[in-house]
Amino acid sequence: MPTVTVSPGGTATTTLTVRNDGDIVEAYTLEVVGDCAAWSTVEPARVSLYPGTSETVTLTFAPPRSHEVRAGETPLAVRVLPVEHPESVVVPEGTVTVEPFHELRTELEPRRRRGWLGARFRTAVQNKGNTPVDVAFTGRQAGEELRLGFTPGQKRLEPGESAEIRLKVRAAKLIWFGEPVTWPFEVEAAEVVAPVEAPVAVAAGSGETVRPEAVRPETVRPETVRPETGGVEAVRPEPVPGEFLQLPVLPKWLLILLAALLALLLAWFALVRPAVKSTAKQAVTEAAQEEAARGEQQQGAPTPGGPDDPTGGQGQGTGPDAPGTPGGTGGSGTGPGTGSGPGGTGAGGTEQSSATIDVETNAGIEGVGTYKVPAGKVFGITDIVVANFQGDEGVLTISFGERKITTIALETFRNQDYHWVTPIQVPENATVTAAVTCAKPGTPATGTQASGCHQVINVSGVLSDLAR
């Protein structure tokens, strides 16, 4: 049989003549065997012949356009089997030449990535042709903002073989602030022509061997060559698009935040800080002036209880444990209490004065301590200091005359003070009362629990003459 040439995806035919050289009528079945049997047919596949006659059958070859059908020569055999005499089987042989075709399939994963300066992609390429090829990878970008590098830059692929190439995209410079920028680019995988070495020649007359330089490999991007025109069929690979989204180093929201912080800092140094310094300076000045005025007043005031104020420090009262104690009265309850009379300095019928009420009582018992305003005087109270130095538990109630000022739990404090800008006026013969209900004696600094509750209340203010 003659050699047949066929292109993948196309068809080719040849003929085979079957002759009956026997002496009886014979039927013959024809079947293509070998590597090309899957894509070959015989028409007709069965013939009946009288002795001495012949018939021509047609062989059709239609290899698929697939990498599974390798380019090159493929053995061809047709088995002719007589039905009556199967031992006389004949297998004529030939050759089918499958033409090569080139097809590359390229994919880029992912198609889009983001980064500050660069990103990494994966380029997957598969040889869909039926002949081995050397593939070179190139990248294009409409500008000089990106640099594209492939690892490896060239790869040899057998028919049907796939490979994954690493692609690194890097921007020429950073974007410090502003909007993100999208850089499009294209990736292409193309066949590389192997270097062709020219034949060795001998220079005439000299006997020297001349070896021309080999032709360097080139990247081929051929257009499709159709089988009808002859030649190797190759499909130019389509470039695969990709994008690199370059992000600014300083995002927009960070710039807004920095601007806001800078504005707050400027406002602090320009407005708030001077106001704070001015307020603090004014407070210090006022405190110094008040202290100076108080010192001058104390220097010109008579000493209570001295020759200029014989009534100073006098008090009266009764109590079970401190009868007749000057300046205070004993407790009206079952616990002891003492009070000391006013002391201080003043001029013109007005003097700074303070009194101390000392209340001691046992657990479960209420103790009361009082201070009585002297006759002819009015006590303007501005400050109260309460000392719970043992850490007792219970309730303390402070009253000015008939007016209850406060009720506090002893366990909530060790030292407590109250101040009034406008003095609370307590009239003559009225009492300042401190009532203590002892729930549990505390433990003072000595570390030994006290046997009873003990509170000290200091009341201070202005003691002035009563207008008559």
Cross-strand partners of 108 = 123
Least confident residue range of 84-98, 299-313, 323-337, 403-417: 323-337
In whole numbers, what is the pLDDT of the chain averaged over residues? Answer: 80
CA-CA distances (angstroms) from residue 463 to 120, 304, 353, 426?
A: 89, 11, 6, 10
CB 398 within 8 A of CB 406: yes
Cα separation, 228 vs 104, whole angstroms: 22
**Tokens for 61?**
């070859």
Query: Among the residues of 268-377, which ranges form H helices?
Result: 273-299
**Tokens for 427?**
């009239």
Cα separation, 92 vs 94, whole angstroms: 7
Mean pLDDT of 289-299: 70
**Tokens for 133?**
């090829």
Least confident residue range of 160-169, 348-357, 410-419: 348-357
Cα separation, 346 vs 446, whole angstroms: 40
Cα separation, 312 vs 347, whole angstroms: 13
Instruction: Give pLDDT tens digits for 416-446.
Output: 999 998 999 899 889 999 999 999 999 888 8
The answer, yes or no, to whether residue 246 has pLDDT greater than 50, is: yes
Instruction: Give pLDDT tens digits for 66-95.
Output: 999 999 999 999 999 999 999 989 999 999
The confidence band for 195, taking pLDDT boundaries of 50, 70 and 90, is low
What pLDDT is recorded for position 66? Answer: 92
pTM here?
0.45
Q: How far apart are the first and last CA of the chain?
A: 154
The answer, yes or no, to whether residue 215 has pLDDT greater than 90, is: no
